[in-house]
Amino acid sequence: MRATLDFLLNDWLDVEALTQRPRFADHSRETFDSVLDTCERIAREKFAPFNRLTDTEEPRFDGKRVHLPEATHAAMQAYVASGMLAASQDYELGGMQLPCVVEMGARSFFSAASVAMGGYAMLTQGNAHLLMAHGTAVQKEVFAKNELAGRWFGTMCLSEPQAGSSLSDVATRATPDGDGYADDPLGPRYRLKGNKMWISAGEHELTENIVHLVLAKIPGPDGKTIPGVRGISLFIVPKKLADTEGRLTGERNDVALAGLNHKLGYRGTTNTLLNFGEGRFPVRGQAGAIGYLVGEPGKGLACMFHMMNEARIGVGLGATMLGYAGYLASLEYARQRPQGRPVGPGGKDAAQPQVAIIEHADVKRMLLAQKAYCEGALALELYCARLVDEQHTAAGETSAEAALLLEVLTPIAKSWPSEWCLEANSLAIQVHGGYGYTRDFPVEQYWRDNRLNMIHEGTHGIQGLDLLGRKVVMDGGKGLALLADRVNRTIEGAMQHPELAEHANALAQALAHVGRATKAAWATGHPADALANATPYLQAFGHTVLAWIWLEVGLCAAQREASDFTRGKLAAAAYFFRYELPKIGPWLAVVEARDTTCREMQEAWF
């Protein structure tokens, strides 16, 4: 995995070029490598050996406290000590000014070693980054800095028991906290009441405090809230209150753990139902959780999307690395496990010794599929992270383009690994045979863990609606046109290489097909017509994007001296083009036809 990561970062994405930019001027290939080395080591020593333990000893709530394994505490301490929480931040903030793409590479080790333990860090970083972008100076100082230093961890509180995908229906309310509410130095002070569901890292004792970022609605003078997402505001609701110096005041806020969710996987991250402001912990003499407004009232969702977009790429990386971990486990197993014999012209000769199962064509197929899914997905996530760096540090036009491309790619970066690296995990089980179905091998846990990723941070269906309903049509299709331009550049380059020309042609056709399907979907102008098949569209779009990424990676490999490593990359690219890309045909067919089979199905007919 390290060799592939190094190849993608250095040979393909040329991260060293970033050191030409002022922000990264102190960095070099050596400093980047050393960050990767450190993270690889911490993940290997503090995360991986305890991944199964975090599953079997899932978080336990005794009515007062949540208990986590000691190993989780130790892993978090090591992570915090590494300084990675603030890695991309300014030096003044204790950061390293590390490019996002290198940080993403470093984070991949933790996701592969224990995705659930890595969740705490991911949420804390996302939370702090949001505050750095949208918080006041004091909010940054008090909340974000404590998070970046790892003294406090963070959460994002969007869903409610009755409102998951439909954030319009958030029922948590925020009302001004007394007459002087607007003058609190920590931000306009409100009292929040409501329930938040599926809150990862919502309760634990890993850190002295927890910073909840909470979506809630501020009622108007008539006591009513504005329907829809326009009525949503964003609040900082710390578990324990703090002063303007970031010190705990000793006051417990009115945020109570109603219960832990007991999940299929991802058990190492606590997942909670939180009650805000129900009076379990009255604060300053009354019920209601104290929260400080972030940004403007009614603009909460826009702020939250800062964190959501980051979280979506983070989910994609987590899904990718779960797939990758399964791939490596099944590859190792297939190399060692003797079983069966090669099939010769006359069948099999039982008198011959058995061979390792990696010799069988179907096992190779299952390994190659995993390689194509997981290495491709990793390349995509790193590419997106590289776009974040472009957005933040490149010149005007380039920066704007990167931001636009990132918008179009985010639904794919989130959904594609969630679907296909889960499939990779299933193949990893299959390679192991019966052993893979036991808890003595790691692959079943990866598969269970990975099943979450199509659900959280916007379900698969939501990603499809985002892509076809918004991203490819916004600004008159500017984002899609930009992507097509990039893809065409890759195609042109690949046409020069005989072994890639076949793939380049296939990609050109796929791209044209996606373009036609996009137009056909919207031909009537009715969202209901277009969006009825948004998920198959998402799948086809995703496979096309991954084919492009594989052509990019293949092109990079083809330009290097041939070796086992480059042959592997070219074989995985070939697998993707021959076995995977053709799948877009059936998906796009229903999109183009605006097939009504599903939407016209009636409830009574089921």
Catalytic residue numbers, as ranges:
457
From 175-183, 221-229, 247-255, 400-408, give the range in contact with a second copy by CB under 8 A.
221-229
Taking Cα atoms as reference points, which of 120, 165, 536 lies closest to residue 314?
Answer: 120
Q: Cβ neighbours of residue 26 under 8 Å, at least 6 residues apart?
A: 97
> Which of 180, 434 has the CB closer to a second copy?
434
Check residue 430 for interaction with a second copy (CB under 8 A). Answer: yes
Check residue 3 for interaction with a second copy (CB under 8 A). Answer: no
Number of residues forming the site for a second copy (CB under 8 A): 105
The distance of closest approach from Cβ of residue 117 to a second copy in the complex, given in angstroms and rounded to an integer, is 18
Residue with tokens 């004792």: 205
Using CB under 8 A, which of 229, 307, 402, 517 touches a second copy? 229
Amino acid at 64: K
Check residue 374 for interaction with a second copy (CB under 8 A). Answer: no
Taking the C-alpha atoms of residue 127 and residue 122, their distance in angstroms, rounded to an integer, is 9
Amino acid at 600: E
Q: Please, which of residues 256-275 interact with a second copy by CB under 8 A? A: 261-265
Taking Cα atoms as reference points, which of 232, 280, 236, 234 lies closest to residue 255?
Answer: 280
> Which residues make beta-bridge pairs with 195?
275
Check residue 297 for interaction with a second copy (CB under 8 A). Answer: no
Amino acid at 409: L
Two structure tokens written together for 407:
């918008």
Q: Cβ neighbours of residue 54 under 8 Å, at least 6 residues apart?
A: 68, 69, 71, 72, 114, 116, 117, 267, 268
> Which of 164, 477 has the CB closer to a second copy?
164
Check residue 421 for interaction with a second copy (CB under 8 A). Answer: no
> Which of 263, 497 has the CB closer to a second copy?
263
Q: Please, which of residues 439-458 interact with a second copy by CB under 8 A? A: 439-440, 444, 447-448, 451-452, 454-456
The distance of closest approach from Cβ of residue 209 to a second copy in the complex, given in angstroms and rounded to an integer, is 26
Check residue 437 for interaction with a second copy (CB under 8 A). Answer: yes
Taking the C-alpha atoms of residue 27 and residue 559, their distance in angstroms, rounded to an integer, is 26
Check residue 193 for interaction with a second copy (CB under 8 A). Answer: no
Taking Cα atoms as reference points, which of 137, 186, 130 lies closest to residue 158?
Answer: 130
> Which of 16, 595 has the CB closer to a second copy?
595
Q: Please, which of residues 139-178 interact with a second copy by CB under 8 A? A: 159, 162-166, 168-169
**Residue 330, Cβ density class (10 Å: 0-12 exposed, 13-18 middle, ≥19 buried):** buried
Maximum pairwise Cα distance, the chain: 90
The distance of closest approach from Cβ of residue 420 to a second copy in the complex, given in angstroms and rounded to an integer, is 13
Q: Cβ neighbours of residue 326 under 8 Å, at least 6 residues apart?
A: 370, 424, 425, 427, 428, 429, 442, 443, 446, 447
Residue 319: HSE in the Cβ half-sphere, 13 Å Cα cutoff: 33
The distance of closest approach from Cβ of residue 298 to a second copy in the complex, given in angstroms and rounded to an integer, is 13
Two structure tokens written together for 447:
């598969």
Using CB under 8 A, which of 49, 342, 509, 559 touches a second copy? 342
Check residue 598 for interaction with a second copy (CB under 8 A). Answer: yes
Check residue 510 for interaction with a second copy (CB under 8 A). Answer: no
> Which of 165, 249 has the CB closer to a second copy?
165
Taking the C-alpha atoms of residue 325 and residue 145, their distance in angstroms, rounded to an integer, is 33
The distance of closest approach from Cβ of residue 551 to a second copy in the complex, given in angstroms and rounded to an integer, is 15
> Which of 284, 567 has the CB closer to a second copy?
567
The distance of closest approach from Cβ of residue 521 to a second copy in the complex, given in angstroms and rounded to an integer, is 13
> Which residues make beta-bridge pairs with 174?
192
Check residue 222 for interaction with a second copy (CB under 8 A). Answer: no
Taking Cα atoms as reference points, which of 469, 456, 479, 464 lies closest to residue 126?
Answer: 456
Check residue 360 for interaction with a second copy (CB under 8 A). Answer: yes
Using CB under 8 A, which of 25, 81, 343, 501 touches a second copy? 343
Contact call for residues 123 and 156 (beta carbons, < 8 A): yes
- HEC string of 166-198? CHHHCCCEEEECCHHHHHCCCCCEEEEEEEEEE
Q: Cβ neighbours of residue 12 under 8 Å, at least 6 residues apart?
A: 379, 552, 553, 556
Measured between its terminal Cα atoms, the distance across the chain in Å is: 46
Check residue 498 for interaction with a second copy (CB under 8 A). Answer: no
Q: State how far Cα 259 lies from the chain centre.
A: 25
> Which of 283, 538 has the CB closer to a second copy?
538
Q: Please, which of residues 550-589 interact with a second copy by CB under 8 A? A: 564-565, 567-568, 571, 574-575, 578-579, 582-583, 585-586, 589
> Which of 89, 463 has the CB closer to a second copy?
463
Check residue 503 for interaction with a second copy (CB under 8 A). Answer: no
Check residue 358 for interaction with a second copy (CB under 8 A). Answer: yes
Q: State how far Cα 18 lies from the chain centre.
A: 24
Check residue 329 for interaction with a second copy (CB under 8 A). Answer: no
From 131-139, 172-180, 202-210, 596-604, give the range in contact with a second copy by CB under 8 A.
596-604
> Which of 302, 400 has the CB closer to a second copy?
302
Check residue 501 for interaction with a second copy (CB under 8 A). Answer: no
Q: Please, which of residues 519-538 interact with a second copy by CB under 8 A? A: 525-528, 531-536
**Beta pairing class for 152-157 and 209-217:** parallel
> Which of 115, 534 has the CB closer to a second copy?
534
What mask of x and - would describe binding to a second copy in positions 452 to 491, judged by CB under 8 A? x-xxx--xxx--xx--------------------------
Check residue 368 for interaction with a second copy (CB under 8 A). Answer: yes
CA 50 to each of CA 127, 149, 414: distance values in angstroms, whole numbers, following the listed order: 26, 24, 26
